[in-house]
Structure formats: structure tokens, C-alpha cells
Amino acid sequence: MSGWYKFFSRCPVPGCEDEGRKLWTHANCGGAMYINCAAFLGCGTCGDIYSVARSAFICAGHGNEFSQPSAMSIFYMSAIGGDVATTFKDVGWGLRLQASLQQVAESFR
Ligand SMILES: [Zn+2]
Ligand SMILES: [Zn+2]
């Protein structure tokens, strides 16, 4: 999947107590999730694709329930664009992801 990188992030659900970064996996099939610079998440195993704006996240830190991120937490996630760009030396991709996530955050207001 060109332009897609493995989705390592802390949990974007507001108030979640798990602050560790982790590789997210697809609840339906267990495959690793990837992110592209348009802020879509894609499963590397079954190929399902979701907008970050419509994705729900589950982890023990917020009680193992599917919950959606808030505008603020999406905005915070835009920092991962910079992280990924540094890791993969793909600065243009990181900047595009940051812009896409900021648009998602603004669409929540
Ligand atoms: Zn899947
Ligand atoms: Zn969580």
C-alpha cells in the first residue's frame, strides 16, 4: 500500500488513561491498521478503509468500549504526522496528514 504507514498512536479517545503508543489492529479481523495522508485508516489484512472522522477505538485505558475521538484529540493526533515523517523521512506526507487531521477536527465543531 503505497503512501500508507503502520498506524502507531496513543489512544485518541478523550480521557483515556493509556498514554502509550501502540500499533492499532482491526477489531473485525486483527490485521494491522495503516494510515494515509488523507487521514484514512486501512486494514492491511482485509482491506477495509475508514475515515478517521468515523472511526471508533477500543482499549483497556478507557474501559474496553468503542468510543470516538473528540475534535481536540484528533487535533492532537496530527502530531503523529510529524512522528511518521521523521521516522520515514517523508516530510511532505507528514505535513499532508497534519492538514487532513486538522480538517477532520474542524469538521467536528
Ligand atoms: Zn481487517
Ligand atoms: Zn483508550
Condensed to tens digits (0 to 9), the pLDDT of residues 77-96 reads 766 655 666 666 777 888 88
Cα of 29 to ligand 1 centre, how many Å? Answer: 4
Q: Looking at the CA of 26, which ligand is closest?
A: 1
pLDDT of residue 48: 97
Domain around 50: 5-107
Pairing relation of β-strands 40-43 and 22-23?
unpaired
Condensed to tens digits (0 to 9), the pLDDT of residues 34-93 reads 999 999 999 999 999 999 888 999 999 999 999 998 877 776 776 665 566 666 677 788
Provide the 3-class DSSP secondary structure of residue 22: strand
- Can you tell me the distance from the alpha carbon of 56 to that of 49, in angstroms, rounded to the nearest whole number? 13
Q: Can you state the angle between helices 91-107 and 79-88, rounded to 10 degrees?
A: 170
pLDDT of residue 38: 92
* Structural domain count of the chain: 1
Provide the 3-class DSSP secondary structure of residue 2: coil
Cα of 67 to ligand 2 centre, how many Å? Answer: 8
Q: Which residue has the cell 474501559?
A: 63
